[in-house]
Structure 1
Amino acid sequence: MKINIFDSIQLREMEKVKLMNRVDKKYWFHVSRLSALLEEINESYFLLDMDGQSLLPYSTVYFDTPEDRMFIAHHNGKLNRYKIRRRSYVSSGISFFEVKFKNNKGRTIKKRIPSDFMEPGFSSQEIDFIHEMTPFCHQELKRSLVNHFSRLTLVNKNFKERCTIDLNLQFQQAQNSVGLGDLAIVEVKSDGRSSVSPLLMALRNQRIKPAGFSKYCVGRAITNRHLKRNAFKEKIRSIEKVLHTENRLYN
């Protein structure tokens, strides 16, 4: 996979394309298809570079209620739903406590505050943030999933679109650990206004179709067989086929 074919961009230059209120499109496919995709779009995007490194490690802790209300809301297709997580941008040592809200118009709204990734509970700032931004009480939240992955971040040279490519995905829940190392997950993030997206055009050219992928929900579903997860069975079977794996992710 060649990534030195892109012009680079620094983190401070990405401020103008934060897109905290946005429309997302997701795609996923076998990682072997990624090189051809990158070669088709390299002239239209910058690639985030941090101290000479572009494939950057991320770690995330998700929180849910004992009844798994946030997972179940997604499973049941409910809009106006939440995800609560703490994310570490490992290379920079920066962490944020984040709330993602998917509204009934299909837009994703993300709010975040600085955080300590190693915090065992919630800081006072996080407690206030939870109460302000969600209908949940911090006392009912528990750690429900950990994931690790590596990410490439692309920025359209028109600064109206940001794209992430997640690789080397690993999930951990209690004593269970499952990896999806050969899967590439592409997310195209924009303000929703019509503009030409070279990446979307390249995905169409390669006959890669949009398909939802929640790292939280897929991770929960393949690490905890006791959850209600029928709605994700078809997707997980499709992942097995894409990865050509004989190991059953959905048992």
Structure 2
Amino acid sequence: MTAAMAASTTAARAVARVAWAAAPISLTEVNERAGLLTRFDRSYLVPAPVFLSMAGWLTDARWPGGPFRVLAIGGRRAFRYHSVYYDTPELRSFHDHRQGRRLRFKIRERVYEDSGERQFEVKLKGRRGATVKHRRALTGSETLLDPHCRAYLAETLQRVHGIDAPTALRPSLTTDYLRTTLVGDGERVTCDAGLICGDPRTGRAVRGDAALVLVETKSAGHLSDVDRLLHAHGMRPAVFTKYCGALAALRPALPANRWRRAARRVFGEGG
């Protein structure tokens, strides 16, 4: 899916409407107010009309603590994200998540396509259920399989979790989407539209429902005011992550019952 196609979806139009109605906030301010490299994440699959209503409350001047603002960089308020996830040949990260292992991780390269910035990210799930993100910039032709990146991964996993890094890694999933980020004090809400996920092994791809906004709340606590607002709109957290949900859709033979229902809603019965 091209950026133009993604921008034309019902969900993307709803996200754009909210983004351009909200007051802007710079990336520096975001990092000061809600950097949240350690946080609790919750995912919601929100129909576009419900998203417009919910986001309207968030960005209203009467919102307690002040209205949420929208991340703006270089005049843009929606940004193209491309990620490549890495896993072992037997999909250790996927199965660790499926089995609910307390100490687990995901490895990915994230590309901010509008700026060209690339990051090596290690997302760790900690003992109390919080997500902790570790990242380092990638330059030139660096890849996650280069020796110094392998060393960074090994050091991070050993220091944080006391576990050894996997020796065999290869690309296991790609994701592309448009993202707008709403920011409050100590809290962020990411709003994704136009999702497309690909399997590097087979070349097969699945596209997300054009009328669904994938909303993720990110906060320092277990339940935020934004979560409560979503609940008031009839939304409940979905058992869905882009990585595991997309693999459930792309590789039907995987034991992925945990994500099947949400994956069908996002990608359709064909997924």
TM-score class, shorter-chain normalisation, is 0.7 to 0.9
Structure 1 residue 193, shift from structure 2 partner: 7.6
Identity of aligned residues (%): 29
Structure 1 residue 138, shift from structure 2 partner: 5.9
Q: Which residue number in structure 2 is paired with residue 46 of structure 1? A: 69
Measured in 1, the distance between the counterparts of 2:217 and 2:80 equals 19
1:1-251 matches, cutoff 5 A: 1=14, 2=17, 3-16=19-32, 17-43=34-60, 44-116=67-139, 119=142, 122-134=145-157, 135-137=163-165, 139-156=167-184, 159-174=185-200, 175-182=203-210, 183-192=212-221, 197=225, 199-239=226-266, 245=268, 247-249=269-271
Structure 1 residue 233, shift from structure 2 partner: 2.2
- Tell whether the 8 Å contact from 1:87 to 1:117 is kept in structure 2 after alignment: no
Measured in 1, the distance between the counterparts of 2:39 and 2:149 equals 23
- Secondary structure at the aligned position of 2:177 is classed as strand
Measured in 2, the distance between the counterparts of 1:130 and 1:150 equals 28
Aligned length: 240
What per-residue deviation string (whole Å, max 9, x for no partner) do you get for residues 104-159 of structure 1? 31111110000148645523331111111224546411110000011111110xx2
- Secondary structure at the aligned position of 1:234 is classed as helix
2:204 aligned partner, one-letter code: N
How has the CA–CA distance of structure 1 residues 193 and 224 changed in structure 2, closer, same or farther, with 3 Å as cutoff? closer
The unaligned stretches of length 5 or more in structure 2 are 1-13, 61-66, 158-162
- Secondary structure at the aligned position of 1:213 is classed as coil
What per-residue deviation string (whole Å, max 9, x for no partner) do you get for residues 61-115 of structure 1? 0000011111011112222111011101111221110111112311111100001
What RMSD in Å do the two structures reach over aligned CA positions?
2.1
* More strand per residue: 1
